[in-house]
Chains A and B, each alone.
Chain A
Amino acid sequence: MADVTTRRDSPEAVAAEKPGRAPSPAPAPPDRARELRSLLARADVKLSPYLYIAPFFVLFALVGLFPLAYTAYVSVHDWHLIGGQGEMVGLQNYADVVQQPKFLTALRNTFSIFLLSAVPQLLAALVIAAVLDANLRAKTFWRMGVLLPYVVAPVAVSLIFSKLFADQSGMVNTLLGFVGVDPVRWHADALASHVAIATMVNFRWTGYNTLILLAAMQAIPRDLYEAAIIDGANRVRTFFSVTVPMLRPTMIFVIITMTIGGLQIFDEPRLYDQQGDGGADRQWLTMTMYLYELGWGAQKSFGRASAVAWILFLLIVAIGLVNFAITRRIASDGSSSGGKRR
């Protein structure tokens, strides 16, 4: 079961192999140039690290910070999609938005879809990762296999699933009919539509999270398992007593990225029907769709749309802080690996 090749890649080994990062000091310089060189060398040590990371922060300021600030600026103005900037109205847009019943609907839908997708996704990813971590034949094949749905464009996924989940003529209802279940009204019923949309999200993201969890599982020292087995623990017991606790930091990471992505869900619900406005009663209108409807739909108000964008931002930050607090408490080492999601 223990994969010998992974040993070589343990973090310690990698770190040991890495060449020293600091540039080697200049060879003994002759007379006057000496002072300048030492100045340069000191600047090199002190300044260049900031220079190296600057591109990220410059880009971030350009495409992250500026839009954020500009959105705040727009959100306190009357701002028409085509007509452009109007009067400054203070927090009126925020008040307008919060008072519209659609706001609460969107909030409800977003969290409902988020929970329906995040919870099953995490459980499924954990189980699949555990299976992939076992000593299978054609490992790479299976590992790549779970990632395949991730490569499919979300638009394509949505188009296919919205056909499968058609209320009257969809395949899902036909299959349910074979086992004697009454047709589910996948579009008309709010909860059913959330389940259908969550299914698309799960289809796409489970494999991705599986791989992240798998990577973390492989970093668990194998002697822990050996010790557990010697102590008489069976597979199930080692999974719950060794694997799951060791995965905690990674799980926190996965959950945070899931939260950020889940609260911003747009493609899947937008393409769930032909109109793309979240259903006649806004059964599956999410926050980002609501934002879009305000800005580009009938109201054509960028001001209100920006207000929603900021409310959503604050919401995500708040949930992020809660997550962070939990991380601090649970994981003492805190660090985890993995890329960004969505």
Chain B
Amino acid sequence: MRNTRKPWLTLVAGIAGTALLTACGGGGAGTSGEDGKTTLTIATFNEFGYEELLKEYEASHPDIKIEHRKAATTNEARDNMNTRIAAGGSGLADIEAIEVDWLPELMQYPDNFADLSDPEVEGRWLDWKAEQATTEDGKLIGYGTDIGPQGICYRADLFEAAGLPTDRAEVAEFLGDSWESYFAAGEKFTAASDAAWYDSAGAIYQGMINQVEAAYEKPDGTPIPLDQNAEAEKVYETVLNASVDRGLSAGLTQWSEDWTNAFQNDGFATMLCPGWMLGVIEGNAAGVQGWDIADTFPGGGGNWGGSFLTVPAAGKNVEAAQDLAAWLTAPEQQLKAFEAQGTFPSQVEALASDELLSQKDAFFNDAPTGQILANRADAVEVTPFKGPNYFAIHETVADAITRVDTDKTDDAAGSWAKAVQAYGELGLD
């Protein structure tokens, strides 16, 4: 038997070895195929709504082949990107999508990205959107895709069962325009229903912290020590008080298995809803009737997320990649992406177009999502400052919230102390 065992082991070793090689070698970006076609890779996360657009581009550019890599979460995309930048840019896609929360840390090393400034695209975006991706010496490292003006998505059927209003306008009034009125409405709902009011304390915290002008860092970029950051601590306490003490949260972590499944079994009735979340809800809640979106947001409008397309300077097809990125972020294409996945345009021309304003979403009970999100974008008053350490500091607080809200292993005060400890470990001061 000893001899007959070996071929199998060799085979297994061979398979494992090949798998390893493919895993390492899979990142070969920007290679020209044997058929003379240029292969462009584009790396995105969540839902950008690009599937159809990429096919369209391939059809109109016969010499281009596009490979689309999708990461499930932004954290994953960020890890992947940082690793590859650290490796000198090898294995990066020709176009890398990045999220506004971790844009600032990459802005510190602009040499890694091609300068995308071009007279043709000047004035294409909202001023503040373009500014976010412009370095001090005027280099534009990313083309804006979407912004994330938020409304409140809700389950009209659960509202009805709880004896609450279901009509969009009435719900907007019922929810009110402050966080307190939103939480109070939640108490009325949970008193009459088994479902929770919202999905996750972490999401509510996101919504609230994005209304703070300088959440974790002073506008000159110096981090505010977390134990002295009274403003963030107050938001933290408010969120956990509503989520745990008042019992409004379903105790789920966004993007977790349980969170995804909760869409299918009536886990919660409302959630904060930036434009790009519409596509996520539609995917997770496939087959569920009753989702709708209310034209209101607590605390006076809020923007959550929004992304950019960058072209890493190490790519082999920088020019072709820039063309594709410029095409994808043109107003006409962004409108199509919005239609597909609700990614709300950051382009001036698209924002004013009838096509956007007349947009309706069948899944959300034919809600005029275009008009609602445009109203929500108008309501945004604060453009929060996010410096190079925003993402890292935010993660320490987000973990603290998860410990209390999802894991229930710590109380609010104890978990905050752990966040302060984790902040100290970042070594920023």
Contact = CB atoms under 8 A, between A and B. Distances in A.
Contacts of B82: 81-82, 296, 300
B3 A280 contact: no
A298 B395 contact: yes
B353 interface: no
A129 to B, nearest CB: 12
Nearest to B399: A280
B262 interface: yes
A298 B392 contact: yes
Interface stretch (B5-13, B36-44, B370-378): B5-13
Nearest to B402: A280
Interface in B411-427: 418, 421, 425-427
Contacts of A187: 256, 406-407
Contacts of B426: 298-299
Interface string A95-131: 0100011100000000000000000000000000000
Given A82-B86, A151-B12, A298 B406 contact: no
A211 B400 CA distance: 45
A188 B408 contact: yes
Contacts of B408: 188
Given A166-B258, A167-B258, A274-B256, A299 B425 contact: yes
Given A169-B265, A273-B253, 4 more contacts: A6-B2, A82-B108, A166-B261, A188-B408
A162 B86 CA distance: 30
Interface residues of B, number: 51
Interface string A297-308: 111110000000
A296 B2 contact: no
A188 B407 contact: yes
B409 interface: yes
A336 interface: no
Contacts of A337: 2
A168 interface: yes
Contacts of A279: 407
Interface in B27-45: none
Contacts of B19: 153
A141 B66 CA distance: 44
A150 B257 CA distance: 25
B51 interface: no
Contacts of A147: 8, 12
B12 A150 contact: yes
Interface in B242-269: 252-253, 255-258, 261-262, 265
Contacts of B395: 298
Interface in B369-397: 391-392, 395-396
Identify the 7 closest CB pairs spanning chains A and B, nearest first: A280-B402, A298-B392, A188-B407, A169-B261, A166-B257, A280-B399, A168-B258
